[in-house]
Structure 1
Amino acid sequence: MNYVIPIITLIVGLVGGFFIGVYYLRSQMTKMQNDPQMLQKMAKQMGYNLNGKQMQRAQQMMKNQGGAPNAPGAPAAKRKKK
């Protein structure tokens, strides 16, 4: 019994943390779609400098695909091949 409760607590904590992380990431992606400065900041952190046309294309891509290139709702032609 001394080993079961900590293991169950760990599993519950990991599952809960995962779902909280997914919720937070989705909310940040939604904010990024609506805020070009935040998208520009993220691009600069990754080493890219986007011009206006690239910024519009990135925002449109995020809106169409839900922010993820392999999103389930993304058109099959636009998905990355594995």
Structure 2
Amino acid sequence: MWDIIIPIITLIVGLVGGFFIGAFYLRKQLEKMQSDPEMLQKMAKQMGYNLNGKQMQKAQQMMKNQPGVRNQPGARKPGRRK
């Protein structure tokens, strides 16, 4: 019986742990991208876009205004709730 239960529990713990580690890593990458325009340009090129200066500024502004990213002044506006 334990031959079935332990692998299932291990799989569930691995999936949950992997999800949280992946989410943490993605959030850190997004925070880095906000302050590094070269990284943002590289990501855009990988997706098939070639951003000019005006588009780059607009993309950086949009990323700074995202409510899910931490440590950004003005990222969450007080008084707004969903």
Give your verdict on TM over 0.5.
yes
Structure 1: 5+ residue stretches without partners = 75-82
Q: Which is bigger in relative contact order (C-alpha 8 A, separation at least 6)?
A: 2
1:79 — aligned with what? none
Identity of aligned residues (%): 77
Q: How does 1:48-67 map to 2 (within 5 A)?
A: 48-66=49-67
Q: Which has the larger radius of gyration?
A: 2
The size of the alignment, in residue pairs, is 70
Structure 2: 5+ residue stretches without partners = 70-75, 78-82
Contact 1:32–1:38 (Cα < 8 Å) also in 2: yes
For 1:19-63, what per-residue CA distance to the aligned partner results, in whole angstroms no more than 9, with x for missing partners? 000000000000000100000000011111101110000000000
In angstroms, what is the RMSD of aligned CA positions? 1.8
- 3-state SS, counterpart of residue 2 of structure 1: helix
2:9 — aligned with what? 8
- Give the C-alpha shift of residue 67 in structure 1: 7.0
Q: Runs of 4+ in structure 1 displaced over 4 angstroms?
A: none
